[in-house]
Structure 1
Amino acid sequence: MLGTRGGWQALRRCASLPRAVRLRVSEALGARESGGEVKVQGWVRSVRSQKEVLFLHINDGSSLEHLQVVADPSLENRDLTFGSAVEVQGKLVKSPHRRQNMELQAETIRVVGPCDTWTFPLKLKERHPLEYVRQFPHLRCRSNTLASLLRIRSEATAAIHSFFQDNGYVHIHTPIITSNDCEGAGELFHIEVSSLLSGPLTQFFNVPAFLTVSGQLHLEVMAGAFTHVFTFGPTFRAENSQSRRHLAEFYMVEAELSFTESLQDIMQVMEDLFKTATSTVLSKCPRDVELFHKYIAPAQKDRLEQILKHKFVTISYNEAVEILKQASQTFTFKPEWGCDLQTEHEKYLVKYCGEVPVFVINYPYDLKPFYMRDNEDGPQHTVAAVDLLVPGVGELCGGSLREERLPLLESRLQRLGITDTYQWYLDLRKYGSVPHGGFGMGFERYLQYILGVDNIKDVIPFPRFSHSCLL
């Protein structure tokens, strides 16, 4: 190529260009002044060639909007197609169109990576259903919907960290590999050594080890030295479920508060976290959220705005069961005191309370794990537990006061036959224990709710669920 006359001319033209300032698409779109040499890199979202001018729209993931590139038709080549990766150098100028502030007048366009448009599964100007792009986990981030989702995930993650740090919490990295089953449900992924060189099959850690289902117990350790701690990381449940609310790998936000004797304190943090993080996401990602509220869940915007203005509703488990028993609706699972609330029950309770988030508190003692604080309330025998139910999703958060009284905790562990396993947990109650409590919030369910997405598999980059682990 350089041996030809045209090649040498192109080389001289590139060499004569001044050093360009590299801009992201979002920065170029937000620029207020024209002029100056800039370089923008990204992927082509559309190509339109006319006799006098060539139009490109490119995007680099920093914004839902595309940057319009205006160029001489002579810069077009066969590799400049939808989906190709390009580097464009030129000058930013005011756009004559009302929908955009700036556009880029190209002086050079370099195709960094061509795209085979015949086999590329995402097609130009098509709005692909979420179910369709889910088939292509290696490519679906190129679609507008998933790109918006990932920007929202990023902002929501930052907002959650900011909420806790602004309120004096210490961030703890709890382990992913653990010997504890925090939930007691037995839905654990067992870790085994797979190396052929490991010799006779032995336990790597000398004890059975699992992928964590929760960081709560480790946070309780830390709550013996810090009054407020939180963690935010991956958790794993080996649930053989294909439902739209369950994943085998998901992210959990968990917090633990020392020196608290009130379940209301825990509930207030849950509500404040939800409202603060949601308000931040709505203010920082307005166009991305609008895409979901316009095309995925048209009424969700108004519902969210109303929820952010009002207190969440609180009812007891007893009240919940009575509401369900008196319902005109027929349930698949008959509501009875002492039985866990099913998804259909949770949806009905939210609807009954006006389609707003609902705290259900004080569950039966036998329904909940060993660490929840005994209310010592007579024949009914409940624990100071709380679940936060939200419309369309059901349970979003679960929390409780923890049992800090050593005799009561010892008695319960003995009845369950797990005293030896949790001797370290009893030690925490011997050495400066204080009343404390905490909660966990499923991050994907949170996103599912605020965006109005029907299936939880569409709010995580690489969904893991029963019989599916693509990539």
Structure 2
Amino acid sequence: MELKAEKIEVVGNCDVKTFPIKYKERHPLEYLRRYPHLRCRTNVLGSILRVRSEATAAIHSFFKDNGFVHIHTPIITSNDCEGAGELFQVEPSSKMKVSEENFFNVPAFLTVSGQLHLEVMSGAFTQVFTFGPTFRAENSQSRRHLAEFYMVEAEISFVESLKDLMQVMEGLFKTTVMMVLSNCPEDVELCHKFIAPGQKDRLEHMMKNNFLIMSYTEAVEILKQASQNFTFTPEWGTDLHTEHEKYLVKHCGNIPVFVINYPLVLKPFYMRDNEDGPQHTVAAVDLLVPGVGELFGGSLREERYHFLEQQLARLGLTEAYQWYLDLRRFGSVPHGGFGMGFERYLQCILGVDNIKDVIPFPRFTHSCLL
């Protein structure tokens, strides 16, 4: 149906000569990044941000339909959940006329994860999730990193195997992608057509196949036998880098793959000890996807008091995490959880190469525009 206008009224004048986004010109996403206050007016950013909105609703819908309770975990925290030390410290902007050394009496930081707070809540509500901003003070301007990004995190009580956890992770990914494709097909199509030709086929391939599973040990063996030269030499006991993750996905025919059972020394204190002798691995799982690498990270949590006590003592964290030991002391159950980087999830769906282009206002090293 065609609309014919009988009258046109200009509500807000725009000087087309000085307006930096030119009509009918397809500007690169890198160029648009310089104008965070104007780029949302373009077709491509409009589509990306509508998909972001639909994906947010789909994720909340998935968890609600599956009986999860939504928890608002704190943005300001005294915990360094990941132990990586890449934290933004929170302090008053002016010197306060108080005797306390810190505003909160303890050092406080912007959160890197809501996981530990979710563990508290999972003891009361069985299945919980949070979806909010997280912060990493990582000095990186790569395509993969932001200083402020969004995380979807879930914690589930009475989970005793990684298989059960992986089922929820795969279900979350596939169900929400189906909802996004159903609710805003035109926006997804625009992105696939103009940003990432071929992404539609890659996404369909991911959706119709069961995700694969391999152990960390198997992954390292595959990488060692690869004909490709890596910047970081793969060795058992070292972390998998992005180049390794992308190779493993390609090796698996571009089907997402769960990598499980990582060495204990690579992972945080809260992951469950597999008690597997000299290898000494923990029940950890990462989901690797095409074009992005790691999308999900999760594990079974160490619910056994004495195992956890030993780990904390080894790392010198016993005093700081007495409350975490209390969760085991006062009635614990087997449980596990995971986190999914929301911006990486959007990159995976849409084929957007740079993470800065799937968030309305990107924050990264040397850049905090607006």
TM bucket, shorter chain: over 0.9
- Structure 1 residue runs of 4 or more that deviate by more than 4 Å after TM superposition: 196-201
Deviation sequence 1:21-61 (CA, Å, 0-9, x none): xxxxxxxxxxxxxxxxxxxxxxxxxxxxxxxxxxxxxxxxx
Question: How much is the aligned-residue C-alpha RMSD, in angstroms?
Answer: 1.2
- The reply on whether 1:405 has 2:323 as its aligned counterpart is no
Q: Which residue of 2 aligns with 1:116?
A: 15
Q: 1:214 aligns with which of 109, 113, 117?
A: 113
Determine which of 92, 115, 119 is the counterpart of 1:193.
Answer: 92
> Residues 192-239 of structure 1: CA distance to partner in whole angstroms, max 9, x if unpaired?
111255467831000000000000000000011011000000000011
Q: For residues 429 and 380 of structure 1, what CA distance do their matches in structure 2 show?
A: 26
Correspondence 1:271 to 2:170: yes
Deviations 1:227-270 (A, max 9, x none): 10000000000111111011110000000000110111111111
Q: C-alpha offsets along residues 304-358 of structure 1, whole Å, 9 cap, x if unaligned?
A: 1121111001000000010011111111111111000011111111111111111
- Structure 2 contact 155–336 (Cα < 8 Å) conserved: yes
TM-aligned CA distance change 1:196 to 1:350, over 3 Å: same
Q: Does 1:383 align with 2:282?
A: yes
- Judged with a 3 Å threshold, the aligned counterparts in structure 2 of structure 1 residues 323 and 115 are, in CA distance, closer, same or farther, namely same
State the match for 2:80 in structure 1: 181
From the superposition, tell whether residues 282 and 198 of structure 1 become closer, same or farther in structure 2 (CA, over 3 Å). Answer: farther
State whether structure 2 residue 127 is matched by structure 1 residue 238. Answer: no
Higher share in helix: 2
CA separation in 2, counterparts of 1:248 and 1:467?
A: 10
Report whether the alignment pairs 1:350 with 2:225. no
Amino acid at match of 2:138: E
CA drift of 1:112 comes to 2.8
The reply on whether 1:371 has 2:281 as its aligned counterpart is: no
The equivalent residue for 1:297 is 196
The CA distance in 2 between the partners of 1:106 and 1:362, in whole Å, is 67
For 2:62 and 2:244, how far apart are their aligned partners in 1? 31
Deviation, 1:114, is 1.5
Given candidates 266, 287, 293, the residue that maps to 2:186 is: 287
Structure 1 or 2, whichever has the larger Rg, is: 1
Residues 152-194 of structure 1 deviation map (CA, whole Å, 9 limit, x = unaligned): 0000000000000000000000000000000000010011111
Cα distance, 1:106 vs. partner?
A: 3.9
- C-alpha deviations, 1:424-463, integer Å up to 9, x for none? 0000001121000000000000001110011000000100
1:394 is aligned to 2:293: yes
Cross-structure match for 2:232 = 333
Which residue identity does 1:468 align to in structure 2?
Answer: S
Structure 1: how far apart are the matches of 2:5 and 2:197?
37
5 Å-filtered alignment, 1:16-27, equals none
Equivalent residue in structure 2 for 1:425, among 303, 324, 328: 324
Contact 2:206 2:254 in 1 (8 A): no
Separation in structure 2 between the aligned mates of residue 201 and residue 110 of structure 1, nearest angstrom = 60
CA distance in 1, matches of 2:86, 2:314: 21
For 1:274 and 1:209, how far apart are their aligned partners in 2? 33
Distance 1:356 1:469 in 2: 36
Alignment partner, residue 441 of structure 1: 340
Write the distance in 2 (CA, Å) between the matches of 1:158 and 1:396: 19
5+ unaligned residues in a row in structure 1: which ranges? 1-93, 96-102
Matching residue's letter, 2:176: A
Query: Could you say which residue in structure 1 is the equivalent of 2:59?
Result: 160
Q: What is the DSSP-based 3-state SS (H/G/I as helix, E as strand, rest coil) of the residue aligned with 1:111?
A: coil
1:145 aligns with 2:44: yes
Contact 2:296–2:341 (8 Å) recurs in 1: yes
Q: Counterpart in 2 of 1:105? A: 5
Q: 1:357-396: CA deviations, max 9, x gaps?
A: 1100000011000000000011100000000001111100
Secondary structure at the residue paired with 1:374?
coil
Structure number having the greater strand percentage: 1
The residue number in structure 1 matching 2:24 is 125
Structure with more relative contact order (C-alpha pairs < 8 Å, separation 6 or more): 2
CA–CA distance in structure 1, aligned partners of residues 29 and 178 of structure 2? 25
Residues 147, 364 of structure 2: 8 Å contact kept: yes
**What is the deviation of 1:399?**
0.1
Offset, 1:464:
0.6
2-structure distance, mates of 1:467, 1:375: 42
Q: Equivalent residue for 2:258?
A: 359
